[in-house]
Each structure stands twice: as C-alpha cells, then as structure tokens.
Amino acid sequence: MLFIKTIKIKKFEIGLLFREGDFTHIVEPGTHHLFDPWNKCRVAIHSQRDAFFADEQLDVIVKSGVLAERAKVLDLKQHQRALVWVDGRFDRVLGPGLYAYWTKFREIVVETYDARDVRFEHAQLKSMWQNTTARQHLEFYDINRDCAGVLFIDGRYVESLGPGTYAYWRGIADIKLVETDLRETMLDIGGQDIMTADKVTLRINAVATYKIVDAKLSVTASNSLEQSLYREVQLALRSVIGSKDLDSLLSAKETVAEELETIVRRRAGELGLAIVSVGIRDVILPGDMKDLLNKVMEAKKAAEANLIARREEVAAIRSQANTAKMLADSPTLMRLRELEVLEKIAQTGKLNIVLGEKGLADRLTTML
C-alpha cells in the first residue's frame, strides 16, 4: 500500500525505530510493515556481528533499557579507561564516554582501569603496541638492552627502569622517560694547546673512557653529560700539564695520566659516572722545538757512544796491564806465551826451528 513501509531485518541484525527523530523501540529480526503516511518514521538497522555499536542517541537508547540483555554497556568516567577483547582478540582502548557492544554473536570481555594510576601494566602489552586506539590513549616506551630509563612524572623523579616495554596513560600527567646508555663510551678531548711550567706550548690529544653507573644522577646533575665531562677533563689537563716541565712530562707520561685520572674520577662520580680510563694519546711539539729536541737527542746519543768507546778502551788497557804483570811474575807462563806466538807464526807458513847450545832459543826468539 502507498503508506506502508516494508522493513526486512536479517537474523543477525536488529532495528532501531525512530519516530520524528526520537527513539521508540527495537525492531526484531523478520519482515515488518510500518504504517507511515507522513514519512515520520526511520528504522536504523545494525549488524550484531559488528560487535561495536554506535549511535548518536546511544544515551537515550541505553536509558530506555532495551539493551539490557542484548549488549554490554560501558559508562566510563573521566579517570577511567577500558580494554575491550572481542572473541579473545584485543580490539581497542576506550576513553571516557558511553559505549555499547553487541553480545549475541560475539564474546565481549572488558577490562577497566583507573588512569590516575599513570603506569599501565599488562601481560599482552606488546600485542597492543600497533593498535591505533591504544596509541591514542597510551604512551609507549621501549628501553633497549644495556640501557636504563629515568622516569619523571609532572617534573618529579619517580624511578629508574631496566630494559623492556612500558606504557603510561595519556592526558593524566606529564610523563618523561629519559633513556641512558650504560655501556662504556669513549670521549675524545683533542687539540688542547697547553703551556708547560717551562713555557713550552704543546698540543695535547687525550681520551677518556667512562660508563654511567647512576642513571638518575647522570640525567639530573647536568643538562649535557658529555659536555660536562669534556670540560672537566680539559681543566684537569691544563692543571696537571701546566705544573710540569717538558722533560718530566715526556719522561713520565704514565704518571701524568694517573694524576689526570685521579682528578677526573672525583668529579665524574658527582655526575653519576665511573671513569674506566683517562690517558694522553698524543703530545705534539712545535716545529722548532722538535728540531731542537732532535739535536739534543743526537748529541746525547753521540756522547753516550763516545763514553762507551772510552770505557771499552780503558777495559782493554787494564786487561793488557794485568796480562803483562802476570807474564813478568811467571817465567814459565812467559815461555808458554812465546810458544803460542810461535805456533801462530808457524800456521801462516813453513818454519823450522833448530835448538842448539844453551841460549840459542833465546836468541832465536829475540831475532824473530
């Protein structure tokens, strides 16, 4: 008929009848004929297989009580948040507001949280990481291995966290989580022009190796940890090297490094750091000083070589004097020495010796 509307609602659907814009009642599945001569009625059809139910007049529909056996209704206050699981799978995070989920074809599980407890903990936190609604309501932080996180809430330090994934409710408090690397870090302190006690300007390159041992202190003690440590090593270098002359500096670099490390270690502890080592990598001399030192070294080595030669000469002369004295004191030893000389002469050519009357051998030796 002209004024009759036919409404067909499938078994998994449900209809909401509105007359002149106001909700009146639910229309069950089936075929319905609606007399509407003035076209003032409207039926909104919703699929109950789509678990989430949304309508601009949801508050009116909920208050009418028609959803009591058909849907799970959530009325979240300003400080409340809810996690919704549909058929065992995470669906979304809900903020403050009124919500409804159809329960006829879906298993709906709701977990409600008080967001005033800012930190959110859940066994399946990783599975929520990529969910859009979860990221709208939760701030996720991932602290890497060998790192620590320093947590501040509303500007106040709360705790230090180890590696892992953490989440905090948005819009409740000002959350700041600062990640710090706990591994050893090397800091180069290069190009430092420093004057020694004897007025020689050197260019020093140093290196410091450190690691963070107090994450909170490393974040709160300085606004730039690396810059603060750089400045401390720089000042320590000027203090140590400025108190020594060039010779003592070049001859005792290890001692200088130990003094440097002692000074820096005390200040590093105040920054939450532990110094592994501090050392001088390069000592660069001015060009004219290099030439001068090379000449000094050359003269020093020449003097050492000359001294060694003189010592050897003195030792040789002393040995000869001792030998002469022994030969003078022992005629037999002298005779044996003469025979050794004759033996050496005989090895160079043919030598015939004829011994006759007494004293002939002496005259032959004298002649030879």
**Nearest-angstrom CA–CA distance, 125 and 138:** 11
Looking at the structure, do residues 251 and 339 belong to the same domain, yes or no? no
pLDDT of residue 191: 82
Written as one letter, the residue type at 310 is: R
Residue-wise pLDDT tens digits, 134-177: 999 999 999 999 999 999 999 999 999 999 999 999 989 999 99
Cβ neighbours of residue 136 under 8 Å, at least 6 residues apart?
93, 95, 170
Three state DSSP letters for 222-233: CCCHHHHHHHHH
The last residue of one of the domains, among 182, 207, 233, is 182
Span 1-25, pLDDT tens digits: 567 889 999 999 999 999 999 999 9
User: What are the residues facing 212 on neighbouring strands?
Assistant: 273
Q: What is the pLDDT of residues 273-310, one digit of tens each?
A: 999 988 888 887 766 655 555 565 666 766 777 788 77
In a shared domain, residues 231 and 164: no
Give the pLDDT of residue 297.
Answer: 60
- Are residues 23 and 57 in contact, defined by beta-carbon separation less than 8 angstroms? yes
Q: Does 357 have pLDDT greater than 70?
A: no
Q: Is residue 122 part of a domain?
A: yes
Tell me: the pLDDT tens digits for 14-62?
999 999 999 999 999 999 988 888 888 999 999 999 999 999 999 999 9
For 242-261, the pLDDT digits (tens) are 888 877 777 777 788 888 88
Instruction: Write the pLDDT tens digit of every residue in 174-205.
Output: 999 999 999 999 999 888 888 888 777 888 88
Question: Structurally, how many domains does the chain consist of?
Answer: 4
In a domain, 3, yes or no: no
Same domain for 211 and 275?
A: yes
Q: Which residues contact 273 (CB under 8 A, 6 or more apart)?
A: 210, 211, 212, 213, 214, 218, 225, 229
CATH of the domain at 273: 3.30.479.30
Q: What is the pLDDT of residue 247?
A: 77
Beta strand segments in 135-258, E: 138-143, 147-153, 156-161, 164-169, 175-181, 185-195, 201-212
Residues 272 and 189 in one domain: yes
pLDDT, position 201: 80
Q: Are strands 97-102 and 52-53 parallel, antiparallel or unpaired?
A: antiparallel
Assess if residue 126 is contained within a domain: yes
Are residues 210 and 272 located together in one domain of the fold? yes
- The angle subtended at Cα 232 by Cα 231 and Cα 236, nearest 5°, is 115
End of a domain among 161, 182, 203? 182
* Separation of CA 5 from chain center: 72
Question: How many CB atoms within 10 Å of residue 237?
Answer: 21
| Same-domain pairing of 204 and 263 | yes
For residue 350, the enclosing domain spans 330-368
Output phi, psi for 226, to 5 deg. Answer: -65, -40
Q: pLDDT tens, 227-238?
A: 999 999 999 988
Are residues 298 and 280 part of one domain? no
User: Quick one: pLDDT at residue 215?
Assistant: 94
In a domain, 137, yes or no: yes
Of the residues 136, 165, 182, the one at which a domain ends: 182
Per-residue confidence (pLDDT) for residue 90, from 0 to 100:
93
Residue 365 has pLDDT above 60, yes or no: no
Residue 7 inside a domain? The answer is no
Distance, in Å, from the CA atom of 35 to the CA atom of 241, rounded to the nearest integer, reads: 103
Continuous H helices in 15-88: 58-64
Residue with tokens 């859009």: 132
